[in-house]
Amino acid sequence: MNSRVQHKLDELRRKTTMGKTADSPITANKAAKPDGLSMAIHSQKDAEQFLAELSAIRKRRTAQ
Amino acid sequence: MFRIDLGNAYDALSSSITPEFSVAEFVAPQKQGDPVLMRVRIEPYGDPLLPGVYNLSMGPLDENGGINDEVRLRHHDSARVYSTAILFALAFLTEYPDASIGLDGSNDIRANLYHSMFLLNRKVLSEYFYAVGVDWYVKLLRDQQDVERDRDGNPFFKPRPEEFDYTRTRTDLYRYYILQLKSN
């Protein structure tokens, strides 16, 4: 990894609460709005197929 | 259009990375007026059928403490703003390498933005991420006269992800964009 990027990542991590909700965060969150992807996932089967395709892309790329 | 430079991201004021909700805040100077407090949020995609898929959004805070991702801002340095969001995505994926982070391209302005970002920043992004584009497709019925439809008679679209095709120009946008952590 580029050393400038590594430095920025390290800097960000130093300021980051990991693995649990931050003690004093910042401001409250609002639920994400549904978007187009939800509208194209109609069933468990669609979702499983979508995730399997995503996983296959990752595996193919990793193997390259 | 902007060039992503992760080494030139703005410093976060604070941030939190958890599987349920991750957020970073930073200050973005504007071309006119006061700097704006920006928030980058990564959270599970709202659909329980899609575990491991996260949504990234960014914008100034609205009056309810959420993100206003509709407002048009004139950042002093848009490249730094987007580099900051992408750096946070990288930090998140480093913690949760099996996750996928989605960028919703459901309106043309955003889809154009993401598509251009992927095209223009192929080299830097591909150093850390796999880029995925998602199209909607509709099934042609066997009679070849019509397409599959839902109960209301609307075409029954389904998502089809593929490795981002860099030959596709902005006249052929995807509907959804995904970043996955590159394995090294």
Pairing between strand B100-104 and B53-60? Answer: parallel
Whether the per-residue pLDDT at A32 is higher than 70: the answer is no
pLDDT in tens, A39-62: 788 889 989 999 999 999 999 999
Q: To the nearest whole angstrom, how far is the Cα of B15 from the nearest Cα of chain A?
A: 5
Confidence (pLDDT) at A29:
44
Candidate from B55, B159, B178 with C-beta closest to A32:
B55
pTM given for the model: 0.89
Contact A40 B159 (CB under 8 A): yes
Per-residue pLDDT of chain B (184 residues; tens, 9 = 90+): 789 999 999 999 989 999 988 999 999 999 999 999 999 999 998 788 899 999 999 999 888 888 888 888 999 999 999 999 999 999 999 999 999 999 987 788 889 999 999 999 999 999 999 999 999 888 899 888 899 888 888 888 889 999 999 999 999 999 999 999 998 7
pLDDT value for B152: 87
Which tops the pLDDT comparison, A1 or B132? Answer: B132
Q: Is position B154 within any domain?
A: no
Residue B123, domain extent:
6-129+167-181
The one-letter amino acid code at B43 reads E
pLDDT for A33 equals 52
Q: Is residue B75 part of a domain?
A: yes
Label each residue of A47-59 as H, E or C. HHHHHHHHHHHHH
Q: What is the pLDDT of residue A28?
A: 42
| Contact status of B59 with chain A (Cβ, < 8 Å) | no
Question: What ipTM, to 2 d.p.?
Answer: 0.84
Q: Give the three-class secondary structure for B45.
A: coil
What is the rounded CA–CA span in Å between residue B21 and residue B13?
A: 17
Query: Is B90 among the domain residues?
Result: yes
Indicate whether B145 belongs to any domain: no
Domain tally, chain B:
1
Per-residue pLDDT at A34 = 55
Specify if B80 maps to a domain. yes
